[in-house]
Structure 1
Amino acid sequence: MAGQHDRERSLAELYRDDPDRADAVVWGRRGALKGAALVAMGAAVGAAIPFARHMPAGLVPAALAQGAGGPQFLQMEGKARLILQGERPLNAETPEHLLDDDVTPAANFFIRNNGSVPEPVADPRAWKITIDGEVTGPLEITLGELEQRFELVTRRLQMECGGNGRSGFAPQAAGNQWGNGAVSNAEWTGVRLRDLLRAAGVKDGARFTGHHGADSHLSANGPAISRGMRIDKAMDEDTLVAIRMNGAPIPQMHGAPARLLVPGWPGSLSQKWFTRIELRTAPHTGRGMGGTSYRVPVRPIVPGSRNTGADFTDMESMPVRSVLTSHAHGTRLPAGTRSLDIRGQAWAGDLSVSAVHVSVDFGATWQAMTVAAPPNRHSWQRWSGRIALPSDGYFEIWYRATDSQGRAQPHAASNWNPQGYGANPVSRAAILVG
């Protein structure tokens, strides 16, 4: 009776409670979805599966991948309905369909904190930033002085959490299980960091930076995070000390009154509530540096294994990724829909995106989309196109981007690491027609 009861559970429940058992029930030993298994899978996803013959053996349909419960959502004044990833510290992800704007509104901006959020300051113009270390003349400057003394520039810049895509790793890596939505592309106004560094006088021995902010660790034991980067990135024309976001003061949750903006590299470098930058001869040793923190293997390691990170390297330019923004995962379309105009965004760290391809037959065939040029370097790029749907039923839109060096999103997350950085597998969204 117990075995019969297991088979009578819905596939959604079975995948939630026992995914290995569900896979065995649906796929059997041959890996061919047919007969009663095909009927059961169709019932689970709510429609017939026209391209079932192309469905890879063992693939859990996107419609069932989140399990029966689904995500929890953040309810916060001034913010959209973001996916809650954690409450202490507060972290929330933007659903892909809310990333449709070329310039991400503040309400749709993802939330990534490492500790407590400081109290707002009474006078933002009096906020002080210090530049010291390997400089000829340490500099302390208020934001009011900064605006008067240095050129302000405005750029559309992508910023992405280093762990974006972490949920794609198997086995599961440590940390918030981000999908693809720990990213934004706001319009930032500020001063080029290199202008400040040059004003302080960069010594010949300066090779690295160390970043400091006003947020403290939840334990109240020191700063929440304090990272650094190679001096080359600090001198990049798009690395900013930002004071405005989308033409308005930066919201408190996102680092007011000033933050670093280090586009294309892990967002942890974009220090919020920014107070100080030091130039160093050796890599920074602050919280979030060394070991396995924001570092990836130089050579692949066994997934799920323990590692000290001794032979890892710092994660720098983020890997190529794409999102589908025109249709939310789980969209239902009217019966008889035979074509669909779709669009999304794609980006590739310091590089650009050369192509985006889409499949609706589980990767058997791929169709090239149109990819627009970015408005400036380090901004994401709009992709768009039209797909054909041969009948009513359950479809998955698979989408993958290729960067300017020819590297495409892989079918499965590669280079597993304990803290889950750099996962950028092909993404997919479920749609139902009819």
Structure 2
Amino acid sequence: MNDMLLTNARLIDPEAGTEILGWLRVEDGMIAEVGDGPRTGGTDCGGLCLAPGIVDVGVKVGEPGERHKESFRTAGLAAAAGGVTTMVTRPDTTTPIDTPEVLDFVTRRGRDHSLVRVAPMAALTRAREGREMVEIGFLRDAGAVAFSDGDAVTTNTKVLSRCMTYARSLGALIVGHPQEPILSDGAAVTSGKFASLRGLPTVSPMAERMGLERDLALVEMTGVAYHADQISTAAALPALMRAKAALDVTAGVSIHHLTLNEFDVADYRTFFKLKPPLRSEDDRQAMVEAVRDGTIDIICSMHTPQDEESKRLPFEVAASGAVGLETLLPAAMRLVHSGQLTLPELFRAMSLNPARRFGQPSGRLAEGAPADLILFDPDLPFQLDRATLQSKSKNTPFDAARMQGRVLRTWVGGTRVFEAVP
């Protein structure tokens, strides 16, 4: 059944920027009507929040090559439990998604095994080595929503400029990882007094600004549509603001860089080792303000599953990354409960903006939009137990953390794909 009427709900509308008590009717998997005030019949939502499903950009799924870390089935389960109705997946798999054949495999696996929608990105260069451009036209025709080499930053600017020029001619989106690769190589934490006391290899925050400035100069030269996957330092914001005023540029930030800082590394806790590394508290606050004022467009989880063997190592050599599909919303609710963001502002960054940037029809509470919806209690407290996460890998920095806000139901195309156990 994908026809339903949901009443007595707090409608979180990121497009209108409103939060009102009302109702929503679904017909044939699409939103047919939305209204305010009371309405009889249907399913009473008890005054809880009804919002468009989250569109999470930069999700790493371990297929092909690392299925022991995450499969489309387990990623889909985790996404549904976290209110994510569309996963925009990364191409940095063990066999990179750099040919139409590999992309077709990923598309079929996602369609057949994931509870939620999958919108795959493809690599920008062959094997993500930065030497030879992929077949952007064929991959775009095969369903790639964007092109990125992820954290394998292309050092050859001539190759990158050619990729951008060709992508521009096809109207394709390029996703960059704004880090200067030589400075960033081997770094585990952000430079500063705290890092020096820990004796860990560091990278300056300026490496992000340098990488972003290089990319933006090429964007200005070629006119390509460009998205910076993660901005995490205040030093990068002035260049980003200048570019957004004149170019087709957007930017994202991970939920971990919005809610954690460099001190969370504490006693070499590797679940807090991320790429880029956690930043200063001043940088974190700057990122929150940049989301609020629209300088940063998208909040994402940068879901990066790692197995126990790659995390249970000395901090310097442990793998980077954290899972985030299930913790994205409750972690983001910290910003709402602290008064730094409103719910419409939050869902603008987690649903509406990523859907628009990556060509997805969802992310809205509007007639004619897909009924990709989540019902959640913004105030429900709980303590996270990583053992209960749906992901195959359990590498979350929020283990044992006290959080507020839980998804109670998730619908994709009007079909319920998740319901919390009472």
Q: Which protein is bigger by CA-based radius of gyration?
A: 1
Same fold (TM over 0.5): no
Which gives a bigger RCO, structure 1 or 2 (Cα 8 Å, sep 6+)?
2
More strand as a share of residues? 1
More helix as a share of residues? 2
**TM-score under structure 2 length normalisation:** 0.29
